[in-house]
Amino acid sequence: MDLGVKPGDDFYSYASGTWLKNNPVPAKETRWGSFNVLRDFNINAVKTILTETAQLKNAAPGSLEKRVGDFYAAGMDSVTIDKLGYSPIKADLQKAASVKNVKEVLDQAATMRTSGIAAPLFGFYVGQDRKNPNNMVPQLSQGGTTLPDRDYYLKNDARSTKIQQAYKNYITQLFTLTGVSQAAAQKNAETIFNLEKKMAEAQMSRVEMRDPYKTYNKFAIADFTKTTPTLDWKGLLTKMKVTGQDTVLVNSSKFFTDLNSLLTSTPVADWKTYLQWNVLKSAAPHLSTPFVNANFAYTQALTGQKIQTPRWQRMSSQTDGTIGELLGQLYVKKHFKPEAKARMEELISNLVKAYEIRIKNLDWMSPVTKEKALAKLHAFTPKIAYPNKWKNYEGLEIKRNTYFQNVRNAGVWAYNDMVSQLGKPVDRTKWGMTAPTVNAYYNPVMNEIVFPAGILQFPFFDPNADDAVNYGGIGAVIGHEISHGFDDSGSQYDKDGTLRNWWTPEDLTRFKEKATALQKQFDAYTVLDTIHVNGKLTLGENIGDLGGLNAAYEAFKMTKQGKSNEKIEGFTPDQRFFLAWAQVWRGNILPESAAQQIITDPHSPGEYRTIGAPVNMDAWYQAFDVKPGDKLYKKPADRIKIW
């Protein structure tokens, strides 16, 4: 803490100032805060598991340990990886270069997708139909680009042009590493950038993408082909292993009609280069040192990271990202205590109770809508720590000396696993995050809140800490995830996960007014020189925090400590609650990463998450004696109360 600061002036520094001063971002990281400290702890725990598993002499063939150990060992074998250079992708590059017309471009793109090579041109996945969530449907989305957002192609300020140049250098370098002359590689870079820029122009913004109705466009496959005649979807989807389907969900029809025009107006030679680039960029992090270094130089321009993440850390993340549910089984065996699950169940049930009270007491919502909101609240499915049914990657071949092929095989396996869900009942046991992940999520079509084992640790959760710490930490996280079901996007889904309005028009208008006020509050936060928080992009997360912290506080006040005034280490229970919340969000971030976060991340920066909700809560004013004249002071009438 920094007790020299007045909490009402700068609650962030008051709660975390000394820590922030003493904990700069390490050279191999882009940000450093509570999340990162716990992630660092977890990745080291994972490293130990992986190192030990890789060294086992007697692991049975096909066993969990053997497969996980071999995957990691192969990734750590930099001698073999370096010796191979770019030979693992030579054949793919040749195939990409052999296309002769637009039809072959599309066929090759489909093959690349099903072979785990790359996903060029557009996005594709199989997921629940949000107007009929018991059905799995093929879904097409805008895509085709490489930079983290369309803005990077379209903006011309100094920060953006510097990144554009770094991206072009990256393209040039990867091509020259495969024997292309410098001049030809530079030309390729221009070709690719211009082509991707056109795709970026066709894309919707992230804010537009948050609208679940606007992004819901259902087509009969034959009708969709009529709007994009060059993309023969019947043939294309068959090549993409999608069979027995007559409809498709499209998130942006405009993107695909523009792509259709682009396909016919662009020379095939350019598409050839584009396909080769897709092979190169997907493979680069898994190839020899020169490729990895080129990839890092590009990452550096985007994030500001000073030195490369060590190989063990990259391979630990890669193992988690590729065969995470095998690794997860070993992780929870060693690091998750069943008592924590019971305590979490209790916390969740207390949060739901508090939320119920709050919904019942809302002064702006009619009884009819309240009834629907309560029905939704009681229909939430919580998932805690790890899946009841683990994915075992049946049939995925992993060998100890073929790292690149292992990654490829996993890509193919994941693709086949995804398309195999078509025509089957929705698998409700599935998880969207792995067990060691330090995060949590709400999934509106499942109406579920999910908390991986990784986040169920200090500073979020500690069975030995006082309630103030747990309610201000994991309690607020639980409340946050519940609130996603009631944020500007999640509130458009009903209790069964169907995208369907359950609000009266008057209640919806009042809700939107409150949301707009919160949007304005966040729009006013300046992050870096001219960069502001995007109130619209971050609205869902900010409603999540505001609803979540209020519900957590309500639940905390039901505990013995919440009802008492007994100080611990000089702080009242309420002060400890808000300090726990603040310290969860403390963190330093490199300016380059902060700039990227504002464009791409729907979460507000930690500093503004720390203060964004408390400044709307009367209890925070009382706890820290915040008065008119203090910098963070808001008049009682201006304090935003949503959930």
Of the pair 8, 535, the CB lying nearest Zn ion is at: 535
> If residue 528 lies in a helix (H) or strand (E), which one and from where to where?
strand 526-528
CB of 398 to Zn ion, least distance (A): 34
Site for Zn ion in 519-578 (CB under 5 A): 541, 544
Q: Give first-to-last CA distance, the chain, whole Å.
A: 30
CA–CA separation, 517 vs 522, rounded Å? 9
Tell me, by CB under 5 A, how many residues bind Zn ion. Answer: 2
In this structure, the strands spanning 381-385 and 448-452 are: parallel
CA–CA separation, 638 vs 643, rounded Å? 15
CB of 134 to Zn ion, least distance (A): 25
CB of 597 to Zn ion, least distance (A): 14
CA–CA separation, 10 vs 525, rounded Å? 13
Of the pair 8, 548, the CB lying nearest Zn ion is at: 548
CB-based burial of residue 635 (10 Å sphere; 0-12 exposed, 13-18 middle, 19+ buried)? Answer: exposed
Of the pair 75, 535, the CB lying nearest Zn ion is at: 535
Residue 454 sits in the site that holds Zn ion (CB under 5 A): no
| Backbone φ, ψ for residue 495 (5° rounding) | -65, -25
CB of 544 to Zn ion, least distance (A): 5
Give the distance from CA 587 to its chain's centroid: 18
| 448-452 β-sheet, strand order | 381-385, 448-452, 441-443
Of the pair 544, 547, the CB lying nearest Zn ion is at: 544
CA–CA separation, 333 vs 46, rounded Å? 12
Count of residues making up the chain: 643
Of the pair 444, 497, the CB lying nearest Zn ion is at: 444
CB of 446 to Zn ion, least distance (A): 15
Q: Is 481 a catalytic residue?
A: yes
> If residue 324 lies in a helix (H) or strand (E), which one and from where to where?
helix 311-335
Contacts of residue 135, defined as CB under 8 A and 6 or more positions apart, other chains included, come to: 128, 129, 426
Site string for Zn ion, 301-340 (x = CB under 5 A): ----------------------------------------
Which of 28, 602, 40, 30 is closest to 317 using CA atoms?
40
Which of 8, 13, 10, 2 is closest to 586 using CA atoms?
13
CB of 235 to Zn ion, least distance (A): 40
Catalytic residue among 92, 545, 554, 592: 545
Secondary structure class of 29 (helix, strand, coil): coil
> CB of 291 within 8 A of CB of 86?
yes
Secondary structure class of 122 (helix, strand, coil): coil
Catalytic residue among 70, 196, 320, 481: 481
Residue with tokens 């002071």: 633
CB of 449 to Zn ion, least distance (A): 10
Of the pair 129, 541, the CB lying nearest Zn ion is at: 541
Of the pair 440, 527, the CB lying nearest Zn ion is at: 440
Q: Which residues are catalytic?
A: 481, 545
Q: Which residues bind Zn ion (CB under 5 A)?
A: 541, 544
